[in-house]
Amino acid sequence: MQFSIITAVYNNSKTLGHAIKSIQAQQYQNIEHVIQDGGSTDGSLDVIKRFADKRTSFESAPDNGVYDAINKGILRSQGDIIGLLHSDDFFASNEVLSKIAAAFENPEVDGVYGDLQYISASDTAKIIRDWRAGTFSVEKLKYGWMPPHPTVYFRRQVFDRYGLYDTSYKIAGDYDAMLRYLGTGELQLTYLPEVLVKMRVGGISNKSLIYIFHKSFEDYRSLRSNRIGGFGSLIAKNLSKITQFTSKR
């Protein structure tokens, strides 16, 4: 079982090396690391060349945003299982992929996900937000539930059947993909109740009030287009985040 880990990056030389080393440190070794660079000019290409090994597949070319870059990476990938690791993120331990692989030994499982922690960019030991996903049900989607996208791994057949990310979304393409895939009720997911990925705060979806407004608009558009819910679902989705800032693991 080969994993394809997609990393879309543009001008993020500061943390990219940590993400690459996090993948290479995994105990599970049958990995293809597909790095899709958008034409970085800040030294990111030098970082990739410095840390790349025989499992690294790298391309640098202009793209139409992060979801277009992810799509390009998926199309270039060869693995049986596909997941993402953003250039700001890293695995919570070197056993993460081994545990995900064990869950996929059940041929009925289409996807695997776990918990996510948002951490301080200046102090990675400081937890800002602790996202405990909980088990999946289609009904939960109506109340704003989604799995933490950076922890989600799907069999390649899921993308073949339901398509790639919709590039008309600039911020909420991951939410739209989760609603589109999971809203069918046809996929079986396994939940691993532990932190799989740690994400530095400061991503595109929480940079400013303008971005937050834009993301909410895109979330609402996705809810309506996928016929999952509406304004109430959007409110529930945002309210569910409150406990993530106060919970203690």
**What does the alpha-carbon distance between residue 125 and residue 139 come to, in Å, rounded to a whole number?**
35
Average pLDDT score over the chain: 94
Q: Give just the sign of the alpha carbon dihedral 57, 6, 224, 214.
A: negative
Say which residues have a Cβ less than 8 Å from residue 227's Cβ, sequence separation at least 6.
Answer: 183
- For residue 178, the enclosing domain spans 3-245
Element holding 81 (H helix, E strand) = strand 81-84
Per-residue model confidence (pLDDT) at position 234: 87
What distance, in Å, lies between the first and last C-alpha atoms of the chain? 32
**What does the alpha-carbon distance between residue 73 and residue 191 come to, in Å, rounded to a whole number?**
25
Compare 212 and 140 and report the one with higher pLDDT.
Answer: 140
What's this model's pTM, rounded to 2 decimal places?
0.93
Q: What is the mean pLDDT of residues 126-136?
A: 95
Q: How many structural domains does the chain have?
A: 1
Q: What is the mean pLDDT of residues 132-159?
A: 96
Q: What is the mean pLDDT of residues 73-93?
A: 97
Per-residue pLDDT tens over the stretch 84-128? 999 999 999 999 999 999 999 999 999 999 999 999 998 999 999
Do the Cβ atoms of 142 and 237 come closer than 8 Å? no
Query: What is the CATH number for 219?
Result: 3.90.550.10
CB atoms within 10 A of CB 40: 19
Per-residue pLDDT tens over the stretch 231-241? 898 888 888 88
Cα of 246 vs its chain's centroid, Å: 23
Q: What is the mean pLDDT of residues 72-89?
A: 97
Among 169, 164, 172, 208, CA closest to 64: 169
- pLDDT band, very low/low/confident/very high, at 205 (cuts 50, 70, 90): very low
Do the Cβ atoms of 57 and 48 come closer than 8 Å? no
Phi (first) and psi of residue 118, to 5 degrees: -90, 130
Q: What is the mean pLDDT of residues 67-93?
A: 98
Say which residues have a Cβ less than 8 Å from residue 49's Cβ, sequence separation at least 6.
Answer: none
Per-residue model confidence (pLDDT) at position 202: 65
Q: What is the mean pLDDT of residues 158-173?
A: 97
